[in-house]
Each structure stands twice: as C-alpha cells, then as structure tokens.
Structure 1
C-alpha cells in the first residue's frame, strides 16, 4: 500500500513594516520577528537541504538582521540547513513588489528500493489577522509559493482554490535523485492595504502563516 509521510514545519511567514528600514515607512514581507520559517525533512527516505546553487538574492548559511535592513538591501532571503533534518529560510521583500528568489531548497530521495516520492508543501496554520478575516486566506496562500521547474514552472505549495489548501502540484523525486524547489513571493491588494493601514513607527509583525506541512506521497 502506498504511504503518505507527513512532516510539519513549525514557524511563521509574516509581514512587517516600519521606519527602521530607512527614510519613511517601507513595507516588508518577512517571517515573524527573526524572519524565519522552518521546513522539516519527512525522514525515512527523503531529506530537505538548501539548494546546491541558490538564486542570486539568496544567501546560504547566513542570517538577516532585520534591525539594520535598508531599502537597498531588498529583496533578500537566506537558507541554512541542519543535516537534512531541517531547513530555515528567512525572507525580506517590499510588500508592493513581486519577487522570484529562484532555487532555495533541494529534495533528495535516498530510497534504496527504487521507491519514488511526490513531495509538496501545504499551509495548515494561519495568523490571527488571517483567521479573523482581515486578510483572506486565499490571498496569503497565493502570496507565498514554493515552485518547481524552469521552462514550465509550477506551484508545489498550497492551492488557493482548494478548500483544504492541498498542494497545487507535486515534485516527483525518483530514487537516488534530487530536485530543487524555488520560492516566489506575490503581493496582493489585501495584504498591502492591511499593512499600510495597520503599522506605524518601529517595525512590527503580523503573522500570516504559522504552520507549513510538507507531504511525501509514495509513487
């Protein structure tokens, strides 16, 4: 029987704005106060690491100091690994600009019995501003997208048109091979309006997503 291995990445994807970023208020999409969210390996045959070669605006094994960010530092993301067991990603982009960070994660199938896996990411927990309806869940799910492929890029994270927010597509990872996953941020009017109408003064954060679950379906 085919098995479905479920893993949970506890962390946050959130949005903040503040004058600490320079002259005037600059809207920033990031993840919570330290800008991080975590992707945990499903164990067994599949592991997740930082991509071998990351996008131009992604720094491997670094951190973002949100207290000293300047507008000309954006966009930026960092990715660091923990022996295939967990990957931590930090993200900072302006809230009014779409940005594709390119490759950021690597999924490796270490199966020794030719078992292939289809891997995807789904958002299963949301922040208060989303739960209370201030920002539509569908907009938040659409704003943060894990992607796969070059000429025909597809979203491999939550489908904003699906009631359960299951992955829109999956990454097929054959035994003994690896596949890379990118990260794209798309801005929506509801998020931009919420930020501009809510935050003043020093940097603050509003959690958008606080739980990410990756699933590996045996082929």
Structure 2
C-alpha cells in the first residue's frame, strides 16, 4: 500500500546535467518518491527526465519560477500541464498567479506560488525596493494566491505557522530551506529541521544538498523519511 507520508519529502536534483541526475536517482532508489527539477537541471537536459521519472512511478516538481506577461505564463503553464508533472512554480505576483491558474485549469497540474526566496531577508527586500518585510510580504502573497485559486505556496519554514493560520487547510505549503540538525546552511537564511517544518504546517519538504551531497545519499534520504514518519504517525 502506498504511504503518502513518503511523498512529503521532495528531493531537489540540483545537479548540472541529466547524466548526473540519473545516477543520483539510481542511488536513491526506493527511498525517494518525489523529485524536483530546477532551472539548472532543466536547462541541462532535465526535461528528458520528466517522462522517465513518470514511467518509474515518481512524482515530479518542475521548479521553473515562471514570471512574464499573463498570456505567456498561461500558455507556458498549459504546455507544462501536458508533461504529466505534479507541481510547477510561478512567482507569486497576482497577474502571474491568475494566468498560471488559467493555464493549469482542467489538468492535474498544481501551481505553487513562490512568496519570498529563502535566501532573502528583510534587508534584501529593502534593497529590492519593497516596503514590506518578509513576514508581511509572505502574508500578502498568501492572500493573493488564495484569491487566484492556485494549489499552494513556496515559503520558508519561518513563515509556515503564521501562513497556515492565515490560509487554513486550503493551500499546500511547500518549504525549501529544510536542513537536518547539524547540516550546513549553505546560502539559506531562513531554515528549519524536517520535524520542525512539519509541525509548523508544511505539506512537503524540499531537500537538496543535505541528501545529494551526503556520502551516502540513500541513507540520508531514509533518515529524513524516518523523521517524517515519526512526526506524521
């Protein structure tokens, strides 16, 4: 019987090409059911992996962070919906959210809005010209995403609890910036352990380097799956 809790872990294949990604998928085996293909891999031959992963019974998250005029986003989202992926990301601007929702309509594709990148903090937003801090901007994007009718949000662990209280159970909350206890932060500024993120309301955890850069990626993935199972039991 399929254990839905295992789908809560999404492994980010942050690798430069499809050959390296295939080797990592082979190493991870049955420890992982859900993979994220981001921009680096997508533009390094990763689109060819979508069909391969689908045929292997895996779920696919295409993390392209679409943002353009509405017509372009709508048409691009409709094309992605034909690929059989489960999640796609767009930047959570109101027009972009609405366009992506139109493009995905009638398909199984679920659109996730990126609120504030986990490598940003309040000072980064000021530099970029925003008048809101991280928490305020995430809350605004959450309300706009709910109004647009998309499936969920990408947000850091720090904003999970407040956002879950704001949106209730209506939206999926998917969080990168998840690091097992003792792992390096890399370029992430707003992070949490897997168990903390789940307790704060996350539906899915995106984990990249702590798994794919581990000496034994399979064991690293299994350790996180064990932590997920304990929290969700």
Give the TM-score of the pair, scaled to structure 2.
Answer: 0.27
Which of the pair is proportionally richer in helix? 2
Q: Which has the higher contact order (CA 8 A, sep 6+)?
A: 1
Which of the pair is proportionally richer in strand? 1
Give the TM-score of the pair, scaled to structure 1.
Answer: 0.28
